[in-house]
């Protein structure tokens, strides 16, 4: 598939999705979101791909937010539809995806950019990254899950402060808050993201998917996460990979998982 706003590259089992609107600091316009939906759906479907790294083009920004130029003419219904559609087809898709997605935050991650990073399963930031939810500056609030995921990740008190003040914080502060998992130099950003993802890719894929599902269940309204865990735990016993993992352990050899 040809993409106008994304660069897609697959190396070994990792698909690299680079948001490529550098002149607009990789802001997420409607067509970029649509392309993200297509690219992520392909990655989740393609058995040769084990996981995804999302980053931004250039040295300055991961994603500086939703594209503000598309906001001027929207009415109430269109605003709701923008948020609902984006949440469902990109942000929730990533969070609930069956394969690990790592955000490599190479600069500004603001508004929808931080929301995109927060939807990913793991976040690695370069030490020049700056993150925040500046929407109230525009007369808005986050619409792609930011009020929920920021609260889940850093707690209500700090989420209130960040969203209501629109403050931008640096990578060290984000690390301290648990908003990102690791901070490294810009040169080390992709290698660190790859190191983490490759560790995951050496594990049993169906167990990894089950782990994502059960962890997400802990924060999903109306779902009993403990029950999800029981059911996902049980399902693992029906996989070839569990037999392989246990046999490899008992015979002191490395397991060879097939995702079955
Ligand atoms: N939507 C649309 N365009 C954006 C954008 C966004 N979210 N963020 C940056 N851009 C564009 C700028 O309009 C500018 O375009 P131009 O050269 O055609 O004028 C270009 O990207 C470069 O941005 P600029 O503001 O000149 O860079 P800067 O280094 O002075 O400032 C930021 C960087 C990130 C602080 C600033 O761009 C900013 O505040 N962006 C908006 C962040 C935001 O509010 N995001 C939440 C949106 S809901």
pLDDT of residue 5: 98
Tokens 């246990």 identify what position?
246
pLDDT of residue 40: 98
Instruction: Looking at the structure, tell me whether residues 143 and 111 fall in a common domain.
Output: yes
Is there a contact between 103 and 197 (Cβ–Cβ < 8 Å)? no
Tell me which residues of the chain have a pLDDT lower than 70: none
Give me the residues paired with residue 124 across strands: 104, 182
Global pTM reads 0.98
Interval between CA 25 and ligand 1 midpoint (Å)? 6
Instruction: Looking at the structure, tell me whether residues 120 and 212 fall in a common domain.
Output: no
Instruction: Looking at the structure, tell me whether residues 228 and 146 fall in a common domain.
Output: no
* CA-proximal residue: ligand 1, atom 32 (nearest): 64
pLDDT single digits (tens) 166-194: 999 999 999 999 999 999 999 999 999 99
Instruction: Looking at the structure, tell me whether residues 224 and 164 fall in a common domain.
Output: no
pLDDT single digits (tens) 8-47: 999 999 999 999 999 999 999 999 999 999 999 999 999 9
State yes or no: is 12 an active-site residue.
Answer: no
pLDDT of residue 1: 80
Please report, for the domain that includes residue 164, its CATH number.
Answer: 3.90.226.10
Instruction: Looking at the structure, tell me whether residues 135 and 214 fall in a common domain.
Output: no
The parent domain of residue 234 ranges over: 205-250
Q: Which residues line ligand 1 (CB under 6 A)?
A: 24-25, 27, 64-69, 108, 110-112, 134-135, 138
Instruction: Looking at the structure, tell me whether residues 112 and 228 fall in a common domain.
Output: no
Tokens 């070994």 identify what position?
12
Catalytic position from the list 135, 187, 195, 227? 135
State yes or no: is 95 an active-site residue.
Answer: no
Instruction: Looking at the structure, tell me whether residues 117 and 229 fall in a common domain.
Output: no
């Amino acid at each position: 598939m040809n993409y106008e706003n994304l660069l897609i590259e697959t190396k070994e089992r990792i698909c690299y999705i680079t948001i490529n609107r550098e002149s607009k600091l990789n802001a997420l316009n409607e067509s970029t979101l649509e392309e993200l939906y297509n690219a992520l759906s392909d990655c989740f479907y393609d058995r040769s791909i084990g996981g995804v790294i999302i980053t931004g083009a250039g040295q300055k920004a991961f994603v500086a937010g939703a594209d503000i130029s598309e906001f001027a003419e929207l009415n109430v219904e269109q605003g709701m539809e923008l948020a609902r559609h984006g949440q469902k087809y990109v942000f929730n898709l990533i969070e609930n995806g069956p394969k690990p997605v790592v955000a490599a935050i190479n600069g500004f991650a603001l508004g929808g950019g931080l929301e995109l990073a927060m939807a990913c399963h793991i976040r690695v930031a370069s030490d020049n990254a700056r993150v925040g939810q500046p929407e109230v500056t525009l007369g808005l609030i986050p619409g792609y899950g930011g009020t929920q995921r920021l609260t889940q990740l850093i707690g209500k008190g700090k989420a209130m402060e960040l969203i209501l003040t629109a403050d931008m914080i640096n990578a060290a502060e984000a690390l301290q808050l648990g908003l990102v998992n690791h901070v490294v130099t810009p040169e080390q950003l992709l290698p660190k993201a790859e190191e983490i993802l490759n560790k995951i890719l050496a594990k049993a894929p169906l167990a990894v998917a089950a782990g994502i599902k059960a962890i997400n269940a802990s924060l999903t309204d109306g779902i009993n996460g403990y029950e999800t865990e029981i059911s996902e735990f049980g399902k693992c016993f029906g996989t070839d990979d569990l037999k392989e993992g246990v046999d490899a352990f008992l015979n002191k050899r490395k397991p060879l998982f097939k995702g079955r």
